[in-house]
């Protein structure tokens, strides 16, 4: 009998990439491959890259070198956002056999069937303007919580961002397809689904399916009726797309968790303008206020960028004070870094890198305090936790409905169960 071919994946970047890797893995399993850990020997190695990480190029080279040392005869495929943005640079890395752009990554099986270890890498990629298809993907690793992609691409043009160049125009799945995928996940034992996309609030915008007239509120209204899933979360939503109706709907829903992640990026209106964001700080504060009025217990996460070109001390302090005053629960703090072909490169004056890191640290400290205060506010309350870890040794972790992380020594009977938990 022929030995099964083996494939190992390595993912860089966001949850969207993880969900896509997961789907690529299932696709190749269906074509007869067996999955291995990246540290093991495999016939094919796939690196799913990110354009947002600072050292995409360095990381990719490092991984390819690692593979070459360990398995010089194995095939090396590089895909993902960085592969779409810089296919030639990646193809020039010694050891790379195939570079797959945004449109081609889900045809990986066909490409592998035609590939053999050769001298020069093959590139299969097209201009990002031509990418229009939508492929739903989901992560299914732990069988507890799954990240389901329902939207891809972005039509905004934030001046610091390369994602639209790497992922193309905004497009999404149809609600009937999402329902089918959610039901399938529910039947497989998944209890919680995190709806994922690049610009999730834009769901349903593109008439890819001719005359599509769906939107995000319609999506969550439909999903709320699916009984096999206990919990849904919205991974992240732009403040200008987070409507009163969506907030009110989540406030009434039993299945959509009281948890919002809303990018702010800056607390200075001038910087928001230079970033080409589509809201002002006042709108952001209103959104938070409405969430708090309807769901005092909701978790609210914030993305913020420090060191954007032209950000003065005064403007950074504006961001600090704005966040300090806002009743939010935690931040993800990003240090601005220059990206090729973005408008922000032409803006200035440039903030010295050391100062960017200092500002990052200041906001991370504030986030730490906010997050502790948020947990302390719920001390003594009993909330439902979905326990996730399936490792029979060590610690088991889970999240409350309002996204407080808890941990406890492993108890098999608690795995993938909603347990009443007293916050302490």
Chain residues that interact with ligand SF4, rule: CB under 6 A: 154, 156-158, 161, 163-164, 198-199, 238
Q: What number of other Cβ atoms are within 10 A of residue 26's Cβ?
A: 14
> What is the Cα–Cα distance from 217 to 201, expressed in whole angstroms?
9
Q: What number of other Cβ atoms are within 10 A of residue 273's Cβ?
A: 12
Question: Looking at beta carbons only, is 95 or 164 nearer to ligand SF4?
Answer: 164
Question: Looking at beta carbons only, is 22 or 199 nearer to ligand SF4?
Answer: 199
- Torsional sign, CA 327, 329, 335, 337: negative
The least distance separating ligand SF4 from the CB of residue 309, rounded to whole angstroms, comes to 16
Among residues 217, 202, 244, 191, which one has the least CA distance to residue 384?
191
Question: Looking at beta carbons only, is 20 or 43 nearer to ligand SF4?
Answer: 20
The least distance separating ligand SF4 from the CB of residue 167, rounded to whole angstroms, comes to 8
Question: Would you call 220 exposed, middle or buried from its count of C-beta atoms within 10 A (0-12, 13-18, 19+)?
Answer: buried
The least distance separating ligand SF4 from the CB of residue 352, rounded to whole angstroms, comes to 24
Among residues 147, 125, 214, which one has the least CA distance to residue 174?
214
- Note whether 261 and 235 are within 8 A (CB): yes
The least distance separating ligand SF4 from the CB of residue 158, rounded to whole angstroms, comes to 3
Question: Looking at beta carbons only, is 96 or 154 nearer to ligand SF4?
Answer: 154
> What is the Cα–Cα distance from 264 to 155, expressed in whole angstroms?
18
The least distance separating ligand SF4 from the CB of residue 260, rounded to whole angstroms, comes to 16
The least distance separating ligand SF4 from the CB of residue 197, rounded to whole angstroms, comes to 9
The least distance separating ligand SF4 from the CB of residue 161, rounded to whole angstroms, comes to 3
Give the long-range contacts of residues 401-407, CB within 8 A, separation 24 or more: 401/231, 401/257, 401/258, 401/259, 402/257, 402/258, 402/259, 402/297, 402/298, 402/299, 402/378, 403/233, 403/257, 403/259, 403/299, 403/301, 403/329, 404/299, 404/374, 404/375, 404/378
Question: Looking at beta carbons only, is 97 or 202 nearer to ligand SF4?
Answer: 202
Question: Looking at beta carbons only, is 184 or 338 nearer to ligand SF4?
Answer: 338
Question: Looking at beta carbons only, is 84 or 199 nearer to ligand SF4?
Answer: 199
């Amino acid at each position: 009998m022929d030995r099964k071919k083996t494939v190992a994946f390595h993912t860089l970047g966001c949850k969207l990439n993880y969900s896509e890797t997961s789907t690529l893995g299932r696709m190749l399993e269906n074509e007869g491959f067996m999955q291995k850990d990246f540290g093991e020997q495999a016939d094919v190695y796939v690196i799913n890259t990110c354009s947002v990480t600072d050292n995409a190029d360095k990381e990719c080279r490092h991984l390819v070198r690692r593979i070459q040392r360990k398995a010089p005869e194995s095939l090396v495929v590089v895909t993902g956002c960085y592969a779409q943005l810089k296919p030639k640079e990646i193809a020039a890395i010694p050891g790379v056999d195939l570079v797959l752009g945004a449109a081609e990554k889900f045809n990986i099986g066909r490409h592998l069937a035609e590939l053999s270890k050769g001298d020069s890498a093959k590139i299969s990629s097209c201009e990002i303007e031509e990418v229009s298809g939508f492929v739903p993907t989901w992560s299914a690793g732990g069988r507890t919580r799954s990240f389901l992609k329902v939207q891809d691409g972005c039509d905004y043009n934030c001046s610091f961002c390369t994602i639209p160049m790497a992922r193309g125009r905004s497009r999404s799945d149809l609600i009937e397809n999402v329902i089918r995928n959610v039901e399938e996940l529910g039947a497989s034992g998944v209890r919680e689904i995190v709806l994922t996309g690049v610009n999730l609030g834009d769901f349903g915008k593109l008439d890819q399916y001719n005359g599509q007239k769906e939107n995000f509120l319609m999506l969550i209204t439909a999903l709320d009726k699916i009984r096999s899933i206990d919990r849904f979360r919205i991974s992240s939503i732009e403040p200008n797309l987070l409507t009163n109706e969506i907030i009110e709907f989540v406030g009434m829903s039993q299945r959509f968790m009281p948890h919002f992640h809303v990018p702010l990026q800056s607390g200075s209106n001038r910087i928001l303008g230079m970033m080409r964001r589509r809201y002002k700080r006042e709108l952001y504060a209103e959104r938070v206020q409405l969430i708090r009025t309807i769901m005092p217990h909701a978790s609210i996460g914030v993305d913020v960028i420090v060191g954007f070109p032209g950000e003065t001390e005064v403007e950074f302090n504006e961001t600090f004070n704005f966040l300090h005053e806002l009743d939010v629960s935690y931040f993800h703090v990003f240090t601005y870094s220059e990206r090729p072909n973005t408008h922000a490169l032409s803006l200035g004056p440039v903030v010295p890198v050391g100062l960017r890191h200092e500002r990052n640290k200041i906001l991370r400290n504030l986030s730490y305090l906010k997050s502790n205060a948020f947990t302390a506010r719920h001390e003594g309350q009993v909330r439902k936790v979905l326990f996730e870890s399936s490792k029979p040794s060590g610690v088991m972790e889970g999240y409350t409905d309002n996204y407080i992380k808890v941990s406890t020594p492993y108890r098999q009977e608690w795995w993938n169960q909603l347990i009443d938990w007293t916050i302490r």
